[in-house]
Amino acid sequence: MLQWLPENIASYGAQYDAVFANIYYIVGAWFLAAELFLFFCIFAFGRRKGRKAGYLPGHSWKAMSWVLIPAVVILGFDLAIDHQQVPMWRAIKEKQPPADQTVTVKGKQFVWDITHPGADGKLGTEDDKQTMNQLYVPVDKVIHLNLEAEDVIHSFFIPNLRFKQDVVPGRSIKGWFKAVKTGQYKISCAELCGVGHGNMGGWIHVLSEQDYQKWLRGEEITTSRLDKDSL
């Protein structure tokens, strides 16, 4: 697979990466082939003494085949990618496994406002925990997200989770993920949203169940190295 991708920590990540790799290799091979052919033509048929430029209207089948054959081959590759990608999209985006927990993430210039359910596991109650740019989730649990925006369009992006979703003012968009590895991973904004866009980000803290309970109680978590300087 592609070694330079950020480490995958999503339960569905392998399926996602397989589609990504396929597109990467197919498009990469076509890019190289097209460039090589272009340079070949430049050197082989370029301007030369005694050679006159000709005008080819391209009406013959022979001339048109230069366009039609590659177009059909590319269409074949497109359909092959669709064949692999459609079941993945259905599995990840159209179906949501039942939530273990739901978190609300609201983007605004230029922070992520995050509301976690407290010990009762429910949002909209008194023990909700609010943070800025810091998302806390237990490992191996299905997390549903209500994704919202206060002012302009932002995009909630966690590369390690292969998760990216635009947030749009006036809408609450549902998303989900299941992180399978504890640790701290970067959150970014992936939609240009104003002068502070480049600094709009945060961290997701994927905690063991034990650490997550500690965090709920407001105790210090030793495994979460970013806690001290980011809160």
CB of 206 to Cu ion, least distance (A): 23
Size of the site for Cu ion (CB under 5 A): 5
- CA gyration radius for the chain? 25
Sole window of 80-88, 136-144, 164-172, 191-199 interacting with Cu ion (rule: CB under 5 A): 191-199
Structure-block tokens of residue 218: 């407001």
Nearest CA to 115 among 130, 132, 102?
130
Residue 106, interface with Cu ion (CB under 5 A)? no
Binding residue (CB under 5 A) for Cu ion from 116, 154, 178, 205 = 154
Residues of span 39-58 touching Cu ion by CB under 5 A: none
Report in angstroms how near the CB of residue 159 gets to Cu ion at its nearest: 15
Q: Which residues contact 116 (CB under 8 A, 6 or more apart)?
A: 103, 128, 129, 130, 131, 135, 136
Q: Does the footprint of Cu ion cover residue 189 (CB under 5 A)? A: yes
Alpha-carbon distance of 120 to 219, in angstroms, equals 17
* Cα 64 → chain centroid: 39
H or E element that contains 108 = strand 101-108
* Binds Cu ion (CB under 5 A): choice among 143, 200, 207, 216: 200
CB-based burial label for 60 (10 Å; 0-12, 13-18, 19+) = exposed
Of the pair 138, 175, the CB lying nearest Cu ion is at 175
Q: Which is nearer to Cu ion, 129 or 197 (CB)?
A: 197
Find the binder of Cu ion among 111, 193, 204, 207 (CB under 5 A). 193
Buried b (16+ CB within 10 A) or exposed e, 189-216: bbbebeeebeebbbbbbbbeeebbebbb
Binding segment toward Cu ion, per CB under 5 A, in 39-47, 95-103, 186-194, 218-226 = 186-194
Shortest distance, position 110 Cβ to Cu ion, whole Å? 6
Measured between alpha carbons, how far is 61 from 83 in angstroms, rounded to an integer? Answer: 31
Decide the pairing of beta strands 163-167 and 154-158: antiparallel
Binding piece for Cu ion, criterion CB under 5 A, among 3-11, 79-87, 134-142, 184-192: 184-192
Closer residue to Cu ion in complex, CB, 188/224:
188
Q: Confirm or reject binding of residue 178 to Cu ion (CB under 5 A).
A: no
Region from 21-29, 39-47, 132-140, 187-195 binding Cu ion, contact rule CB under 5 A: 187-195
* Interface positions with Cu ion (CB under 5 A): 154, 189, 193, 197, 200
